[in-house]
């Protein structure tokens, strides 16, 4: 990894604490799709008056671009983060005592090593928590089965219709969460089913839906290597994450 083109691994550590038995509900959960404005999403008053907020928003945008929400927050302690902000502020203002390219030349490689090492440790921790979640889910749900690949399949409603293969297109409802319960994607929340070729999705979906029939509903717990692996997906699925889906299969074509 070269410093001039460094991509920081954005991670999110699943919530800590003892696992408790969480039986998959056999009744279909109801989720209402809601339109939420930006101001409704705000949890408190804005830090500045409106005329200053666009510049505050610039800072928010820059922080998000370098992983401030899910990357540096996990990788750096408070003192280190202050050093980052000092370097950013002095360079932006032109008050730094050292020329920027010289600092990068001397310390860029070391920074890469630190980021890579800490990212690897966090990903390993996320993977371990996924293994523990699967063990707990199996212990708490007697009808759940773990396949040879590591996928966990829990039948909620048995279907009676056609059974798909990877050559089919399927119409489904799904509700996807991380193991801490955080929702990362949900057709149920959007209030609209989705259709797609089964052969074009992650391995955990390919295997899990092939075990279903039309009219059926199940819970899939998908380990990281059958999901998005060490890369994760965007800002919502961390590297190494185990995923949990409730899936209802409506149509196979």
* Residue 193, domain member (yes or no): yes
Residues 238 and 159 in one domain: yes
Active site (annotated) includes residue 184: yes
Active site (annotated) includes residue 72: no
C-alpha torsion angle, residues 192, 250, 220, 190 (rounded to 10): 0
Catalytic choice (133, 137, 224, 245): 245
Residues 100 and 173 in one domain: no
* Residue 31, domain member (yes or no): no
Residues 202 and 238 in one domain: yes
Of 97, 129, 161, the residue that ends a domain is: 129
Report how far apart, in Å, the C-alpha atoms of 129 and of each of 14, 15, 124, 135, 183 are: 8, 9, 9, 10, 17
CATH number at residue 172: 3.10.50.40
Q: What is the pLDDT of residues 176-189, one digit of tens each?
A: 999 999 999 999 99
Residues 109 and 194 in one domain: no
Q: Which domain holds residue 183?
A: 144-252
Overall number of domains in the chain: 2
Q: What is the pLDDT of residues 207-250, one digit of tens each?
A: 999 999 999 999 999 999 999 999 899 878 999 999 999 999 99
pTM over 0.85: no
Residues 243 and 148 in one domain: yes
Average pLDDT value over all residues in the chain: 83
Of all residues in the chain, what percent are helix, strand and coil, respectively (each to 5)? 40, 15, 45
User: What pLDDT is recorded for position 49?
Assistant: 87
* Residue 116, domain member (yes or no): yes
Radius of gyration of the chain (CA): 22
Residues 111 and 149 in one domain: no
Active site (annotated) includes residue 185: yes
Active site (annotated) includes residue 228: yes
Active site (annotated) includes residue 134: no
Q: What is the pLDDT of residues 128-160, one digit of tens each?
A: 999 999 999 999 999 999 999 999 999 999 999
Q: For 13-17, which contacts have Cβ atoms below 8 Å and span 24 or more sequence positions?
A: 13/74, 13/122, 13/125, 13/126, 13/238, 14/126, 14/129, 14/130, 14/178, 14/179, 14/180, 14/238, 14/241, 15/180, 15/181
Find the range with the poorest average confidence among 12-21, 63-72, 243-252: 12-21
- Which of 46, 42, 30 lies closest to 189, judged by CA? 30
Residues 148 and 235 in one domain: yes
Catalytic choice (185, 222, 224, 237): 185
DSSP-assigned beta bridge partners for residue 171: 195, 251
Of 129, 152, 177, the residue that ends a domain is: 129
Catalytic choice (202, 225, 235, 250): 202
Of 87, 106, 129, the residue that ends a domain is: 129
* Residue 3, domain member (yes or no): no
Active site (annotated) includes residue 56: no
Catalytic choice (184, 225, 230, 250): 184
Catalytic choice (133, 174, 224, 237): 174
Q: Which two tokens stand for residue 196?
A: 């797609």
């Amino acid at each position: 990894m070269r410093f001039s083109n460094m991509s920081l691994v954005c991670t999110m550590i699943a919530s800590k604490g003892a696992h408790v038995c969480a039986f998959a509900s056999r009744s279909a959960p109801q989720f209402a799709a809601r339109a939420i404005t930006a101001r409704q999403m705000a949890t408190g008053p804005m830090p500045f008056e409106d005329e200053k907020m666009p510049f505050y928003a610039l800072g928010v945008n820059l922080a998000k671009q370098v992983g401030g929400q899910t990357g540096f927050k996990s990788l750096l302690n408070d003192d280190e983060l202050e050093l980052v902000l000092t370097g950013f502020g002095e360079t932006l203002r032109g008050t730094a005592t050292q020329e920027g390219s010289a600092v990068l030349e001397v310390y860029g490689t070391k920074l890469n090593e630190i980021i890579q090492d800490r990212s690897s440790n966090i990903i390993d921790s996320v993977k371990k928590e996924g293994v523990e979640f699967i063990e707990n889910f199996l212990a708490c749900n007697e009808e759940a089965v773990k396949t040879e690949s590591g996928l966990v399949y829990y039948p909620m409603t048995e279907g009676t219709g056609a059974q798909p293969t990877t050559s089919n297109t399927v119409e489904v409802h799904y509700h996807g969460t991380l193991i801490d319960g955080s929702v990362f994607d949900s057709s149920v929340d959007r209030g609209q089913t989705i259709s797609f070729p089964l052969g074009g999705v992650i391995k955990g979906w390919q295997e899990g839906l092939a075990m279903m029939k039309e009219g059926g509903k199940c819970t899939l717990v998908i380990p990281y290597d059958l999901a998005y692996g060490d890369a994760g997906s965007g800002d919502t699925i961390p590297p190494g994450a185990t995923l949990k889906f409730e899936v209802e299969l409506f149509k196979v074509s």
